[in-house]
Structure 1
Amino acid sequence: MKVRERLRMFAILALILCNIGCDQISKGIVRERVGYHENFKILTDKFTLMKVENTGAFLSVGSSLPYFIKVLLLSLLPVIVICYALFLLISKKNIPILIVLGLAFVIGGGTGNLYDRIRYGSVTDFLHIDFGLFQTGVFNMADVSIMIGMLMILIGLSNSKTSALMKV
């Protein structure tokens, strides 16, 4: 493996680990210091911190599904997506940088939430934004990583030349 390729892989791995680290450290702090459904105002009442254990996916989607279906959709499917993203990063050397960064963010965020789901049986969510008409559900840093990563990937794929490069 050439030095340039090693540096590329090291940078990708470092970015993935940074995303996982930010997610796990923030969740650890919240687990230790915030009570369930306790509410802290960070920026007036527009940005609040509260701890919620989410057994579903983003915004608790799927939390009431039967256990077997939940395992398939919330554990097995993310493993497949993460492995496919890793495969793309390792096998495709000519992926545009924006898509490489996006895949690293998605892998990091997905791994952070998957780790929680396997270890705790749920994912700790703790961030909430409320601007009146615009209001989010409760989410975490892994969700932020995944959303930023998907945005980077979509922007990168909007170029038709990039779409042709991504075909496996």
Structure 2
Amino acid sequence: MKFNKRLGLMIVVFALCVGVDQFTKAIAKTTLSMDSVREYLGGSIKLLLTHNTGTFLGLGGTLPANLRYSLMIVGIGVFLLALLLYTLLNKRADAVTVASLTMVFSGGISNLLDRIIYGGYVVDFMNVSAGSLHTGVFNVADMVLLVGAIMLFMVGFKTKQQIAHG
């Protein structure tokens, strides 16, 4: 994929993903409370405002502040910069791969922005359950990151199948 098309695709995906995430977080911060839960569809969808100082499912949230800062702002920031450069410079990547990598980058950047703006935490506000199965509390950036990762997995799986049968 040519650089200009790759860059254009990246800008559109990034703007949509970060824009929707930050917009929904702004709504959550103004309409939800950390003291109450709103339930929909018989409790299958819950909206509650939380401040997540950790990563996925709160992992690392109890680490000492300096270590948490180093890992979750500096470490993740370096990883995201490397991912951005890889995506920008990867001439062999097709549109789906570029979109997938950009989704992972966008979800990470949007949560990183929260950490920088709010002094170390990410705004989370959604929880989904089906019977005894339930998610942790998450946000749109987490969904974008997960969908991007699944898309990358599927692209890799498809590529391996093509190699095996090609």
TM-score normalised by the chain length of structure 1: 0.88
Distance in 1, Cα, partners of 2:105 & 2:98: 11
Q: Which position in structure 2 is the counterpart of 1:128?
A: 127
C-alpha root-mean-square deviation of aligned residues, in Å? 1.8
Structure 1, residues 113-150: CA drift from partner, whole Å, max 9, x if none?
00000110211100001112321010000100111111
Q: Deviations 1:94-130 (Å, cap 9, x if unpaired)?
A: 1133321111111111111000001102111000011
Instruction: Give the fraction of aligned pairs with identical amino acids, expressed as a percent.
Output: 28
Moved more, 153-162 or 67-76: 153-162
Q: d(CA) in 1 for partners of 2:15 and 2:36?
A: 29
Match of 1:86 in 2: 84
Q: Say yes or no: does 1:45 pair with 2:36.
A: no
Task: Give the TM-score taking structure 2 as reference length.
Answer: 0.89
Alpha-carbon distance between aligned partners in 1 of 2:59 and 2:35, rounded to the nearest angstrom: 19
Equivalenced residue count is: 160
Q: Which segment is superposed worse, 114-123 or 154-163?
A: 154-163
Q: Distance in 2 between matches of 1:107 and 1:44?
A: 34
1:80 Cα deviation after fit? 1.6
Q: Aligned equivalents of 1:90 and 1:161: distance in 2? A: 26
Deviations for 1:73-110, whole angstroms, at most 9, x for unmatched residues? 21112112211111112111111333211111111111
Q: Report the equivalent of 1:157.
A: 156
| Aligned equivalent of 2:11 | 13
Partners of 2:155 and 2:8 lie apart in 1 by 22
Unaligned runs of 5+ in 1: 164-168
Shift in Å at residue 161 of structure 1?
8.8
Deviations 1:17-46 (A, max 9, x none): 111011100000010111114211232210
Where does the alignment leave 5 or more consecutive residues of structure 2 unmatched? none
Query: How do 1:58-97 and structure 2 match up within 5 A?
Result: 58-97=56-95
Question: Which amino acid in 2 is paired with 1:142?
Answer: A
Pairing 1:105–2:109 present: no
The answer to whether the 8 A contact 1:116-1:124 is kept is: yes
